[in-house]
Structure 1
Amino acid sequence: MIKLSELSKEDKLFFFERSWVTLDGLWFLEIENETDWNTALKIDKIVWIRLLKTIIRRMQRYLKLDTLSPVNIIKILTLRWSIEGWEYKILKNGENEIDIGIITCPYKEAMNRNPERKDKISLICKNMCLPFYKEVIEDTNPNIRFDITKSQGLGDNHCNFKFTFKDKMPQKEEKLIKKVVTLEDRLFYFENHWFTMDGLWMVETENELGKKLALKIDIVVWQRLYQIIFRRLKRYLNIEDNSIKDLIKILEFAWSCEGYNYEIVKKEQTEAILNIKACPYKEMMDRNPERHERIEAICKDMCIPFYEPAIAEFNPKILLERKQFLGVGDSICDYHFKLK
């Protein structure tokens, strides 16, 4: 087993940061495939309203900010943007108003790279960004009024995020200054909110579409995500072959990043056995009484199928067998890999 202490911060950041936009985008796409654009956008908005409110609370504690004053909220938002790779400029920094020009948005850039999504950019910018930010910011601090007066997605050369304050900021309130982003900042952000984002997508999809369809979508999202993760980790770890031992290297890295507690019982060229003693996803459901009844179904109906496409793509001769599941009361989840 790779211990978390053996993974560098750069290793963990690679895993979570590279998967961030991918995971979010896959949820949207698969909901759209099963339903339609409007339904996917509706769920997306709900997820991100809840997620950003959570991010603001966590980042307030992380930055040791006493209050969620207007400047402190904008500090959190701009730190989040810097971490995610946004480019922006502070255009106005006054007593009653702060204007920020968004030069580059990673979500728009991701859609720009996909020819099938380019026609959706204006819809996202118009129907998602403004109402989403407006609700989160004005709910968090009613002294703030938020507006987007320019939008790249609607043809402007930058997005203008305008924050106006009903009351003047106290003179003791410090001016907004860009924070230099550290590796620790980035790792805190992506690692802490990756699980939250996935969980919110699942919960809100269930609320909108029902448990059966939500689980179906969840399986497809994670099948596609793990295929992408396997490819990325194979390159990152410089793995050139596709043996069972090579597969275990990838799983060790991924599981250690995700926080699984596992042991390697056997690791040979033609066979491997891994036992998971604690699963971070089950533990999250354990902490939420509303999710207890879903644990067994998710463990049995999801955990096997979501690995299958990634393993088949890595090496179609590798077979995975499962007999024990933490979610049904067993002491371990067993993963038995062997060649067909």
Structure 2
Amino acid sequence: MKKYNFNAGPSMLPREVIENTAKQILDFNGSGLSLMEISHRAKDFQPVVDEAVSLFKELLDIPEGYSVIFLGGGASLQFMQIPANFLIKKAAYVNSGTWAKKAMKEAKHFGEVVEIASSSDANYTFYPQFEGLEPADADYLHITSNNTIYGTELRRDPDVKVPLIADMSSDIMSRPVDVSKYTAIYAGAQKNLSMAGVTVVVVKDELLGKAPRELPTMIDYRTHVEKGSMFNTPPVVPIYSLMENLRWLKANGGVEAADKRAHERAEVLYAEIDRNKLFKGTVEEASRSLMNICFVMNDEYKELEKPFLDFAVERGMVGIKGHRSVGGFRASCYNAMTMEGVNALVKAMQDFEAQH
């Protein structure tokens, strides 16, 4: 039976990316060594890093004056590394969900943190309006563009009057981005970019080194910019997988085409959620994520939640159980998800409705 991977992350990757990476794990570039065991200083690996950086810049149309670096530690480390490098006195944060709250918590170690907007009182069922609320003296404004747990998304580049920093872990490379509006963008790779293990940071060079503190070597972005992500041993296999995934994305029309496919997938699935008598969405329509589509049983059918989950699993759906803080269901539709997968889930919803 064919499986459809709707996991929120680590998530689905294109089949050819998996196959190409697997071949290199067995024998990297005909060297007789596995990709897992080669030195990151090997002459054949530097071109992998170079191509991954080049493709990343090309696909997002990153202007001059920005560096792209590959780090470990996940986006969670960036919750600390961002304020360590950029917070001088005060930072503004938009509280749009669990991950935004975690980022705020870490920033408080380095200075004053101002929460300028929040949807927590409504259990994060909408993306809060924040433009124009940022303090003029804030060193930066931090946003989380997509909220995987709650299924909300800010699918545009906001206009603010202070340096803008974004956690784009779950929607990076799914749409065009005006990078010039940002001081920094960071993303854990395990949703739209690669397997888990590498974090991508896009950083504006001219703003580095401004923090009024002596930074540990590994925390200072300048360390990794100057050494081309090679200051210490980088996550070799995830970077290779990232390169393959960016090749795949370019061959399939880039971020413009990815954006179109994301809208097509989401429109089909949200239409069924709205039509089907058994289900309802959990998010205000204007804030609905194209990446993480969350829904629950209508109140009168609550007892059917577990039976539907079992029903869907029997038909090849993987990872559609909602986060424990929301309940219900979550279908994560990142770049690699196909319309075939979405249609299979919709068919399961329709068939289950017909039985009840």
Structures share fold, TM-score greater than 0.5? no
Question: Which has the larger Rg?
Answer: 1
Structure with more of its chain in helix, by fraction: 1
Q: TM (normalized to structure 1)?
A: 0.26
* TM-score (norm. length: structure 2): 0.25
Which one scores higher on RCO, CA 8 angstroms, separation ≥ 6? 2
